[in-house]
A and B are shown apart, each in its own frame.
Chain A
């Protein structure tokens, strides 16, 4: 199983990762080897086996819908890379 350069670039795009040419080449080799190793899972017949998403019994947890103190806005904004007028500043969303 060998990924093409285009496939690696496509995955990087989906993951919003800007990669250099060297990184694309490195990950192409490494991911191909790892996926090859994963292929051993294909030999198991699992047609009758249900998937496990969580080991806990699934249940809904509800709480009363009432106002309670939240996080402090000023403190939250202190972590933002760019701030303006009490809001987080970002580059244009639409071109």
Chain B
């Protein structure tokens, strides 16, 4: 049994094709892990065991037929177990977004990324926990309870894709989909010691993703290593007629490329990402990883990104402003619970007041204020202009370097409840991930070491728009030369 969950996605695909393992046994192994461990972790909000097993049997029949006719094409992820963050619509399964306001909501359609996963033969195990409407950095804002970090159950897994990150780290899923509006794939990947891609804005369809900040939201992938992540990314990315913000550009294949070293690669190191107040071990470990890139042949160059510090106030104006509009649709009329009242106005106010959680209400109010008459120019208008300056920092840096290397978060996973009732101190956790969202560039987070308490430390590579393959190749070369991504929490061993 333990042998099955030790296979990476790439290994499992090969073993399934050879007939060394069956999809049914693979799915059973993961469902058993969920049964054993999810009471401790709470990574999942819903699981679909019967459906998954039925799909696995269908996959096995297809694999058997294929072995007789191996010249026939086979879907790339046939028989592979995946988990999906509960902000993405899967028809036939609830989609709560971690919120009471969507309790019992069953979307009548699949998100495009889900459609593509299923067409590629993947099997959905269940939906993973998230901060309510993806607003948070710890999953503590889920209305259905916090997810625990598999490396230390007293700590958060990061967020908002914390359920997906914990599920992959604890091997309750082979790979998982997440979303990243301000770091929500990369930061939990870093806290849980897994690899996660935040693609370029416009690279992956958001049709069927419940909107939070529409100029920032992207769907990403979390997995055990770069190859696994790239394999899923190549299946879900690309133009979609149902999402006008996707671009019709070729998608790099899942083969991350064989290259001996990183010679010729220019890696930018922005000093603005190493700030006073960050955990000293995080800085130390990330600097060592950057040094490793140099040992692998890359050329390091200091770059200056002077507007980095403004990313936090810009994001926390732009994202809540967009959220205040996007979340206007939750009014107790068409879906979700309705709190009864005499008037329509009363239904809106009561339903929203009672069913949204504290952080969502806070951000709706913040966004409403920033967009309101008399304050629009000072807040939203100014934030949009400073966003231009942040984007220009990236444009300038990418004239001199191919990729930028930086820490993912200023700390490793913090204790559950560690930020108390201080929203601003929680927002500061996002300080290194927000700029990539504001500029729309891709970011790839992967484990590069541990702090003294044995908690994973992540590094991120950021690249120019639509250059995910450059990030994959660089991180793949790093992972081939190192072992950090192979470490697992005790509950896996």
Contact = CB atoms under 8 A, between A and B. Distances in A.
A11 B317 CA distance: 15
Interface in B366-416: 366, 368-369, 372, 378-379, 381-389, 391
Given A27-B365, A90-B344, A90-B347, A42 B440 contact: no
B340 to A, nearest CB: 8
B241 interface: yes
A37 B341 CA distance: 38
B372 A81 contact: no
B353 A19 contact: yes
Given A33-B424, A55-B440, A41 B364 contact: no
Interface of B: 104-106, 108-109, 201-202, 215, 241, 244-245, 247, 310, 313-314, 316-317, 324, 328, 331-338, 341-350, 352-354, 356, 358, 361-362, 364-366, 368-369, 372, 378-379, 381-389, 391, 423-424, 427, 438-440, 465
B391 A27 contact: no
- 7 A-B pairs with least C-beta separation: A55-B440, A18-B353, A51-B384, A81-B338, A79-B335, A46-B385, A18-B349
B248 to A, nearest CB: 10
Interface of B is mostly: helix
Contacts of B440: 55-56
25 contacts: A11-B368, A15-B368, A16-B349, A18-B352, A18-B353, A31-B366, A34-B423, A37-B313, A38-B317, A41-B386, A46-B385, A49-B385, A49-B388, A51-B388, A52-B384, A52-B387, A55-B201, A56-B201, A56-B247, A72-B108, A78-B108, A79-B104, A79-B334, A80-B335, A88-B334
Given A11-B368, A56-B202, A34 B384 contact: no
Contacts of A12: 365
A27 B465 CA distance: 38
A85 interface: no
B337 A81 contact: yes
A41 B349 contact: no
Contacts of A19: 353, 361
A34 B348 contact: no
A44 B366 contact: no
A17 B356 contact: yes
B310 A41 contact: yes
A18 B365 contact: no
A86 interface: no
Nearest to B104: A79
A18 B350 contact: yes
Contact of A91 (B341, B385, B389): B341
Contacts of B328: 16
Interface residues of A, number: 48
Contacts of A23: 358, 361
B332 A81 contact: yes
Contacts of B331: 16
B385 A17 contact: no
Interface of A: 8, 11-12, 14-19, 23, 27, 30-31, 33-35, 37-38, 40-42, 44, 46, 49-56, 61, 63, 71-72, 75-76, 78-82, 88, 90-93, 95
Given A11-B365, A16-B345, 12 more contacts: A16-B331, A27-B362, A31-B362, A31-B365, A37-B424, A38-B313, A44-B382, A44-B389, A75-B108, A81-B332, A90-B347, A91-B344
Given A30-B362, A34-B366, A41-B313, A55 B391 contact: yes
Contacts of B369: 11, 31, 35
B382 A41 contact: yes
Contacts of A95: 343
Given A41-B313, A49-B385, A72-B108, A61 B350 contact: no
B372 A44 contact: no
B88 to A, nearest CB: 17
A88 B247 CA distance: 37
Given A54-B215, A71-B108, A90-B347, A15 B317 contact: no
Contacts of A44: 310, 382, 385-386, 389
A85 B326 CA distance: 29
Contacts of B342: 91
Contacts of A88: 333-334
A71 B109 contact: yes
Given A51-B388, A55-B201, A56-B245, A92 B344 contact: yes
Contact of B439 (A55, A80, A93): A55
Contacts of A56: 201-202, 245, 247, 440
Nearest to A30: B423
Nearest to B465: A55
Contacts of A50: 385, 388
B471 to A, nearest CB: 17
A17 B349 contact: yes
Nearest to B385: A46
